């Protein structure tokens, strides 16, 4: 297939079988080598240039967020927690701005629960996280539920890409 044919904003259904295979390998078996793309291309029996072009296209289309390391916050010495609060509809953006100002806030969503704003906070220490939560509470006047993880049963953000047409 000519490279130009894979350009443009295609729907996920139009990801080719090869694209899906590439996504599975990129997620699960990314080689830790000097030339990882050359190794993947060899495995797939395609040119490295074609592989890089396909990955570039999938990045541009927003299928791939990034290629890098998924780091373990705990091993790095960081503390992370899930927080929730109840915010009146009219104040969501104002309060989100206060919450999002905090660098350690990586995810923040409006959700369909009594507690309608949920965010994750990562900080160097537990005390640091608690201090940051207290600052947000004081600034906004809103009570925040702080729910740190006690045990992890699974963290594996891989999406198995089915065979062509299976999605």
Partner 1 sequence: MKQVRFDSVESEIIKLLQSDLPLESRPYQLLSEKLGISEEEIVARINILQEKGLIRRLGAVLRHQQVGYTVNAMVAWKTDESRVDEVGKVIAGYSSVSHCYLRQVPKEFEYNLFSMIHSRSEEELVQILKRIADRTGVQDYVVIRSIRELKKVSMTYI
Gap between the Cα atoms of 2 and 66, Å rounded: 24
Gap between the Cα atoms of 147 and 100, Å rounded: 18
Gap between the Cα atoms of 8 and 58, Å rounded: 10
- Structure-block tokens of residue 121: 């906070």
Residue 113 or 131: the one with the smaller Cβ distance to partner 1 is: 113
Gap between the Cα atoms of 136 and 121, Å rounded: 12
Site string for partner 1, 123-162 (x = CB under 8 A): ----------------------xxxxxxxxxxxxxxxxx-
SS3 53: helix
Gap between the Cα atoms of 66 and 60, Å rounded: 10
Q: Minimum Å distance from CB 109 to partner 1?
A: 4
Q: What angle do CA 43, 28, 63 make, to 5 degrees?
A: 95
Residue 23 or 136: the one with the smaller Cβ distance to partner 1 is: 23
Q: Minimum Å distance from CB 153 to partner 1?
A: 4
CA atoms within 13 A on the CB side of 132: 25
Q: Minimum Å distance from CB 165 to partner 1?
A: 11
Q: Minimum Å distance from CB 103 to partner 1?
A: 7
Residue 2 or 165: the one with the smaller Cβ distance to partner 1 is: 165
Binding to partner 1, residues 54-73 (CB under 8 A): 55-56, 59, 61-73
- Does 83 interact with partner 1 (rule: CB under 8 A)? no
Binding to partner 1, residues 90-129 (CB under 8 A): 92, 96, 99-100, 103-113, 115, 117-119, 122
Q: Residue 108: count other Cβ atoms within 10 Å of its Cβ.
A: 16
């Amino acid at each position: 297939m000519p490279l130009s044919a894979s350009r443009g904003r295609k729907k996920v259904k139009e990801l080719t079988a090869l694209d899906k295979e590439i996504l599975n390998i990129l997620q699960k078996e990314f080689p830790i080598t000097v030339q990882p793309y050359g190794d993947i291309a060899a495995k797939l029996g395609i040119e490295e240039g074609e592989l890089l072009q396909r990955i570039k296209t999938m990045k541009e289309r927003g299928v791939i967020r990034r290629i890098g390391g998924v780091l373990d916050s705990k091993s790095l010495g960081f503390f992370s927690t899930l927080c929730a609060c109840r915010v009146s509809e009219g104040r969501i953006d104002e309060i989100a701005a206060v919450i999002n100002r905090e660098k350690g806030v990586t995810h923040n969503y409006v959700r369909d629960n009594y507690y309608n704003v949920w965010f994750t906070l990562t900080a160097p220490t537990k005390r640091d996280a608690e201090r940051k939560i207290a600052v947000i509470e004081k600034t906004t006047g809103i009570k925040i539920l702080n729910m740190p993880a006690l045990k992890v049963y699974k963290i594996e953000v891989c999406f198995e890409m089915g065979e062509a047409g299976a999605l």
